[in-house]
Structure 1
Amino acid sequence: MRNVADVLRRDAVGGFLLIGAALVAVLWANSPWAGGYESLRSFSFGPEALHLDLSVQAWAADGLLTLFFFIVGNELKQEFVHGELRHPRRALLPIVAALCGVVLPAAIFAAINLGQGDAARGWGIPMATDAAFAVAVLAVVGRHLPRALRPFLLTLAIVDDLAAIVVIAGFHTEGLSWGPLVGALVLLAVFGLLQRESGLAGWVRRSPVPNWVVFVPLAVVSWALMHASGVHATIAGAAMGLLMRTRALRGETTAPNHRVERLLRPWVMGLALPLFALFSAGVVFGDLGSTLTDTVSLGILAGLLGGKSIGIAGGSWLATKLTPAELKPTLRWIDIVGISHLAGIGFTVSLLISELSYSDAVVLDHAKSAILIASALATALAAVILGLRSAHYRRRATAAPPAKNG
């Protein structure tokens, strides 16, 4: 079992499982057995009194994906405290790039659908980057790329998703439930306080009660309240990851963020992400001709393929010229261009915003098909660029040192 867990901790293995599950979902949803697939992912279960009578698809997207966002937030916390992003000038670059990569795709979609009535409601669809798929593709094609690209991508994805959540809350929520939201924020604050080095946190660590008895129920209730508030529940996972303590104290062999990530990562990579892909990636393709002539589809394609790449790469370059932000010396601008195409993989949150934007079944099918097409093309473009860059870095790492004269 230990060997299996070690294998599943590798990003590339998790990436292959995730992409494979997504392909199975697409083929299944467009096969003669599509009815069984739809019945399975629409099957609902859970306590209705707690507003958790959710479909299998919702449990996968809001529940299982929360574990992935916990790991993402945990990794970002490590980078901000001890890694590349602890330097403000380098942390500023992906944040500015992400904001540009949010605004430009939305503006392109709005311009294409200007004067098209309800079609313009979907301007938020091309804003978000699917962190799970993007990280998986990076792991598969970029094994020899500089390590600094991963936190750059994670920061992009987190900022993108936060912006998308703001759009959902502000423009696509019937009514934000403030009571559950305040409750979730209070419990998250308690979670953060318990990570501290003294006071109640120290008592919890020294008590005979195992720490998980305190933290697991706290995490579950925080997640449930966040879900009940109308805010995407994965934000709770990212927040808890960002609140994890990154330094081992006296009597601890490892910091809690490393300990928890080592425990969760095999389950996330080997089970949670593949199941999420299986139940979320099943987009049904209709008439491709009418899809590609619909302004909604054109706006999504242009936003994810053009807006994302131009916004992120161009925003990064402008940030280095107009702000104190700087590009890490080990990176090149072509690396950022590859990452900017990878950020064009808009899936989970994009599909969610499309469902909230359109009630017309035909328009919704066109939007979903365009999201999948754009994500596939963005993946292909990024794979070519980053694959070539990975090969370049591999050759450079294995090249023999130059001979000394004399």
Structure 2
Amino acid sequence: MDSLINSAARALAEGDPLAALKRIALRDDAPALALRGIAMAQLGELARAKELLGNAGHAFGAGEPVARARCHLAMAEIALVTRDLGRPMAGLGGARSTLEKFGDLPNAAHAGYLEARRLLLIGRLDEAEGILDDLDVDMLPPTSRAGYAMVVAGIAMRRIHAKPARDALERARSAAADVGNAALNVEVDRAVQALEAPAARLIARDGERLLFLDEVEALIASDSLIIDACRNVVRGGSTIISLASRPVLFALMRVLGEDWPDDASRDELVIRAFRAREADESHRARLRVEIGRLREAIGPLAEIHATEQGFVLEPHKARAVSVLAPPIENENGDVLALLANGEAWSSSALALALDVSPRTVQRALDALAEKGKAEWFGQGRARRWIATSIPGFPTSLLLPANGVVG
């Protein structure tokens, strides 16, 4: 590379994108396009950065696979920042393989870290952890080491493991301090605040209270039968029964849990589970059918007995019944919880993260926008959604993790 390219690269490595642009702003050769793209990304002009990096990737051609892979890597990082988690990141695995093949181990490790971060965002925790286990952390660039630790913390938080999450965030804080990057320090501080925020509510007949992550972990380890409304599962020891695809059964289970050790009336069960204004004979007939289905579903953990007023829950082994719910519940709360992290999300990325259809997410976003709780900017595929200011809104720590409920 010529002296101007070398000088611009050094400026970027030192975090001075303006100095880099002064040297290469008028050049359109492939190396200059790539460096200009990185400079624009550092300046926050992500759309222009993506365009320049795409042009650079084409300009390098098939004869320079490592340079092309580095461009794809930079574009994937932009896609991650803008929460465009689908097709724009599809080439990340191929770029990583190319970089490993040609001996660019630091960038290959960085590609692995980015893929793990994407998998964390869409709830695929086992896959994310598998990638992290295969990474050589010593090969990561300094800024990526802080990010790596935050991914480790994120996995631990989603799995409700408080101490490993706290330890990982301490490593992230230390790594960020070594780098001295203000934006990175802010990101770590935000993750620490998420860990320290209330993670759930404990609901019982005599009232409710907020729980922090370590308290949720202790509750799960206790001998309680837990009706987990954060993930729509019923937990008892090592047994976990998912009712996520059976919302009526879970609603019935939640009412029974909230009223335990007393019975829940038939009218209350009908109104809350079926969303009826009042209970009539057709609702009561349906209630008998659904209670039968619920009995069968939770048979390994508890029984349901009929009483004069309604039904009562009787755990097999557990000494208590606890209902665990999000800190704040409202319609479309799962979408709002993701938006509340301060990042801008595409609707397609939200659909991936929540494992629902894009149309479902779009209806939720439209409803939130009508209520003034979310807003958008950009047009077409560049449209992004953010939450309006919602002080004290819960973290997304207990959002469902696809395929992982414990």
TM-score tier after normalising by the smaller chain length: under 0.3
Task: Say which one has the larger Rg.
Answer: 2
Task: Indicate the structure with greater helix content.
Answer: 1
Task: Report which structure shows greater RCO (CA 8 Å, sep ≥6).
Answer: 1
TM-score, length-normalised on structure 2? 0.24
Q: Please state which structure has a larger fraction of its residues in strand.
A: 2
